Amino acid sequence: MNLALGGLRTRSRALAGVGDSKEDRMASSLFTSESVTEGHPDKLADQISDAILDAILAKDPLARVACEAIVTTGLVMVVGEITTDCYVDIPRIIRQTVRDVGYTRAKYGFDAETCGIVVSIDEQSPDIAQGVDVGGAGDSGMMFGFACDETPELMPLPITLAHRLARKLAEVRRNKTLSYLRPDGKVQVTIRYGDDGKPSGVDNVVLSTQHHDEVDADQLRSDIAEHVIDVVIPSDLRNGTVRSFINPTGRFVIGGPVADAGLTGRKIMVDTYGGYARHGGGCFSGKDPTKVDRAGAYGARYVAKNIVAAGLAAKCEVQLSYAIGVVKPVAVRIDTFGTGKAPEAAIGAAVTRLFDLSPLGVIKELNLRRPLFRQTAVYGHFGRTDIDAPWESTTRAKELADELSLRA
């Protein structure tokens, strides 16, 4: 499927239910995913947590970090557990992150220069540390990784397009194409799937964006359709006119932490596969790579993507289960949803032979003890080609295919 952007001039109709008939839409299978901009309060919290993590890892790669942020009107609070010998200026990091996102004017109700900051940090529990110190998992739990052939990035199409729209929305705000936009925003994309399980088109887009109080609602909808939706949605995914719902209430002036308190880890579906695949429940942001919530999920995505890239399946979900203090996963599960070119047991056995999925094994394989996590804190951790995301590499695909061929 060609997902190239640009050159598209077919217009979306804001708030209009035009396009395919209602009967056609109901006969199709629909799936919706969402993304949010960097100004969404939950994503602001994620970015603060990961900015602190990166600053510490830059000085102390072996640090143990688990910090969460809360943002609300005029206030940022950071809490958690950090064990390190280095010093970082947490208030300065917080203010710079808020400034980078775009909350720089007091009239927004939240401002990098004037917001209050509260920091309450303790050390990692020695009960947890004794398991991590010997290379074991820092917690019990299960993590999922997923890949499919719907996009070149081997990601589900709904979340891929949702992220592209959210990024474009932020871009036209930052480059002043639409100078009246403000940082907060949310996007939903609904994809229509055919009887063969393949995407056949975009059914609708829902987009809400914070804006200056003097902009006309009709003008905003027209501008967003022209500069965001029509630019991002590829022509081969338009079967008729895409139904667009832009700022459905007509007004979104009050936004960001003033309108809604934000918390680290509250957008886990945005971070992963948009609800298309299962999720173990743990968030990523603010956690150093010894935390299996993060390293386990990255390792599982790495394995799943290499399985699909190797042509062993069109769709693959990998589940890793860990026990606190135990080095190796206690269970590895492969599900190819009937698309596998080899038995799932054989694929699973090959994965177990070739990949070290212990926390330290994943850290070493993907070189995770370095400051690369703030860049993941918005627009998803997976399917990224614009950042250094080593879990997106497919360099092990041939090795996997060869292993299965040799043992067939």
- Catalytic residues, which ones? 40, 42-43, 68, 81, 186, 252, 260-261, 266-267, 287, 291, 293
Which stretches within 253-318 are classed as H helix?
268-271, 292-309
Task: Return the bridge partners of 118, or none.
Answer: 77
Burial 10-39 (b: 16+ CB within 10 A, else e): eebebeeeebbeeeebeebeebbbbbbbbb
User: How many whole angstroms separate alpha carbon 224 and alpha carbon 310?
Assistant: 39
- Which whole-number Å values give the CA distances from 139 to 14, 96, 129, 136, in the listed order? 47, 32, 10, 9
Going by C-alpha positions, the residue among 202, 362, 394 that lies closest to residue 297 is: 362
Q: Which residue has the tokens 């390293």?
A: 295
**H-helix segments, 215-291:** 217-224, 230-232, 268-271
How far apart (Å, rounded) are the C-alpha atoms in residues 299 and 36?
25
Distances (CA, A) of 118 to 76, 110, 200, 252, 261: 6, 15, 49, 29, 15
Half-sphere exposure of 119 (CA within 13 A, CB side): 16
Closest-CA residue to 317 (of 304, 307, 329, 306):
304
Taking a C-beta distance cutoff of 8 angstroms, is the pair 115, 75 a contact? yes
Residue given tokens 């949803």 in the structure block: 337
The rounded distance, in Å, linking the Cα atoms of 158 and 383 is 12
